[in-house]
Amino acid sequence: MPSAERASYVKTSSNTQGKILDAAETLFIEKGFAATSLRAIANLASVNLAATHYHFGSKEGLLSATIHRRIEPINALRLANLNQLEAEQNFAVPVIIAAMFDPLLSEEIDPNLPLLIARVHGEPASISRPLLEKEFGEVGARYLAAMEKALPGVDPVDLRWRFHMVIGSMVHLLNFPSPLQMETDDSLQARREGIERLKLFAIAGLTQTGIEMKEEKQ
């Protein structure tokens, strides 16, 4: 492994690490981790096979670096948004939800990030769990704490469950940008629409105004 690693990479990279990460990102999204070979990555990156081990140590190390490169920027945006809300003492569910989901549409965020997040969630637990904890653990806890301030009347356990459901809706939207059997439009406008609908759905689910259950079916 090389001594020092650069902090950021551009989209179409000219250095070897960046080319490998770009190719790995494309193939991991398309075929998943296990079904993607290092040789396919090296070929797509126009790079020697051994370079993958030289720069990233192992296939798992390459996956971790691929994920981290894309998630770090959105974590920064999300934390900056949340810090501002806390500075303003502005704890309302809609603004917290916006602070969490609007960064997905930021121009600073790579267009591949949504599919990459969805892919991590889709990997088997032995792979996804440590990555999710490492990449989203801190930010998730911060947002959950903000939600507790925004909804002081809701039992924290209830709120954690509702937050769990919100994450599920988000991941599914990132994986399937539009409902099945609808046109698969991947434009910015289409992604905007999905995020807007996600925000409305999340707010409704988090606040849960006036619901009661009826009898159960088996």
Partner DNA sequence: CTAGAATTCAAACAATCGTTTGAATGAATT
Partner DNA sequence: AATTCATTCAAACGATTGTTTGAATTCTAG
In the complex, least distance from residue 31 CB atom to DNA, rounded to whole angstroms = 10
Residue 69 binds its own copies, judged by CB under 8 A: no
Half-sphere exposure of 36 (CA within 13 A, CB side): 23
Residue 55 binds DNA, judged by CB under 7 A: yes
Residue 162 binds its own copies, judged by CB under 8 A: yes
CA dihedral 4, 27, 36, 135 (to 10 degrees): 50
Residue 111 binds its own copies, judged by CB under 8 A: no
Scan residues 99-128 and list those touching DNA (CB under 7 A). Answer: none
Task: Choose the binding region for its own copies from 4-12, 48-56, 59-67, 120-128 (rule: CB under 8 A).
Answer: 120-128
Residue 175 binds its own copies, judged by CB under 8 A: yes
- CB neighbourhood size of 17 (10 A): 22
Residue 133 binds DNA, judged by CB under 7 A: no
Contact 97, 197 (CB under 8 A): no
Between 192 and 211, how does the x/- string for binding to its own copies read (CB under 8 A)?
--x-xxxxxxxxxx-xxxxx
Taking the least distance from each CB to its own copies, the nearer of 51 and 139 is 139
- Contacts of residue 101, defined as CB under 8 A and 6 or more positions apart, other chains included, come to 170, 195, 198, 199, 202
Binds DNA by CB under 7 A, chosen from 26, 52, 66, 81: 52
Q: Strands, E, within 36-187: which ranges?
A: none
Residue 60 binds DNA, judged by CB under 7 A: yes
Scan residues 30-49 and list those touching DNA (CB under 7 A). Answer: 36-40, 47-49
In the complex, least distance from residue 87 CB atom to its own copies, rounded to whole angstroms = 13
- Which residues in 185-203 are b (16+ Cβ under 10 Å) and which e? eeeeeebeebbeebbebbb
Q: Quote the CA–CA distance of 2 and 15 in Å, as a whole number.
A: 13
Residue 125 class from Cβ within 10 Å (0-12 exposed, 13-18 middle, 19+ buried)? exposed
Residue 93 class from Cβ within 10 Å (0-12 exposed, 13-18 middle, 19+ buried)? middle
Judged by beta carbon distances under 5 to 8 A according to partner kind, the member of DNA, its own copies, none in contact with residue 50 is DNA
In the complex, least distance from residue 186 CB atom to its own copies, rounded to whole angstroms = 13
Give residues in contact with DNA (CB under 7 A): 2-3, 15-16, 36-40, 47-55, 58-60
